[in-house]
Structure 1
Amino acid sequence: RNLNTYSVTPFDFFEEFSRNLFNDFKPNFIKTDIHETDNEYLVEAELPGIPKENIQVTYENGVLTISGQQQIDAVNEDKKGKLIRSERSLTSVQRQYLLENVKEDEIKA
């Protein structure tokens, strides 16, 4: 972006900040396919950008819960190394599915 001192308004900073802040916004929704066979359920869930170690799968009282968390830290410094902006975002997603008659000890993730 080219800075033109004649067209700068007090709102330019906020416009730039909000554009960058929401640039990577993704809906907190886990896309899922559930297949049922004669003897099992197969649940395929998409959690893009979330590291495998930050994904949890639990089953309790007939409810399968899939959850994940992703943290992003963005730091912008000027040429002298002074901090000019630091942004952080923490994204958490969770979905629950009612799946009855599941043998907990046979769940694989």
Structure 2
Amino acid sequence: MTDRIPKNLQGASEELSGRTMNHFWQDRQIATDIKEYPDRYEILADLPGVTKENILVHYDAEQLTISATQNFTENDTDDGHYLRRERATASFQRSFAIKNIVAEEITAKYENGVLLLRLPKRTPNLTTGKIITVQ
């Protein structure tokens, strides 16, 4: 195919194609905002068109992962046929390293296509460690 493109435009074509694919994958990511408070972190994640049942939030080993599946496979039992079909089943996932979280107290709420996660911070234990007596 590149033999049809003039040599002076081949690099531009590849650059445009690369940019287009980068935008495609960026558009497929879960857009998130992470805000820090003194006692917690809050994460807002946009998941439009995803049902609550198709969202999985997992926290383990200081890693938070949000996974979601979007399914547009509908029963096509009517007589119509598609002229264009761009919606399809898709999976999304984002992971974040977040330390010092009380995993048992993480809460999640999903409303109007937005997932809200509250991650309480672990209170620093100032009595950890050991004082060593020098002899």
Same fold (TM over 0.5): yes
What residue number does 1:30 align with?
30
Report percent identity of matched pairs.
39
**How many angstroms does 1:101 deviate by?**
0.4
In the TM superposition, 1:54-93 aligns within 5 A as 54-74=54-74, 75=76, 77-78=78-79, 89-93=88-92
Counterpart code for 2:71: Q
SS at match of 1:53: helix
Q: 1 CA distance for matches of 2:63 and 2:69?
A: 20
**How many angstroms does 1:78 deviate by?**
3.1
What residue number does 1:96 align with?
95
The two structures have a TM-score, normalised by structure 1, of 0.63
The two structures have a TM-score, normalised by structure 2, of 0.52
More helix by share: 2
Higher relative contact order (CA 8 A, sep 6+): 2
Q: From the CA coordinates, give the structure whose radius of gyration is larger.
A: 2
**How many angstroms does 1:70 deviate by?**
1.2
Counterpart code for 1:91: A
What residue number does 2:50 align with?
50
Counterpart code for 1:39: D
Q: 2 CA distance for matches of 1:71 and 1:31?
A: 19
Q: Which runs of 5+ in 2 are unaligned?
A: 1-23, 109-135
Alignment RMSD (CA, Å):
2.6
**How many angstroms does 1:90 deviate by?**
1.4
Alpha-carbon displacement from aligned partner over 1:28-72 (angstroms, at most 9, x marks no partner): 211101011111000111001000111111101101101100111
**How many angstroms does 1:77 deviate by?**
4.3
Q: 2 CA distance for matches of 1:108 and 1:78?
A: 45
**How many angstroms does 1:73 deviate by?**
1.7
More strand by share: 1
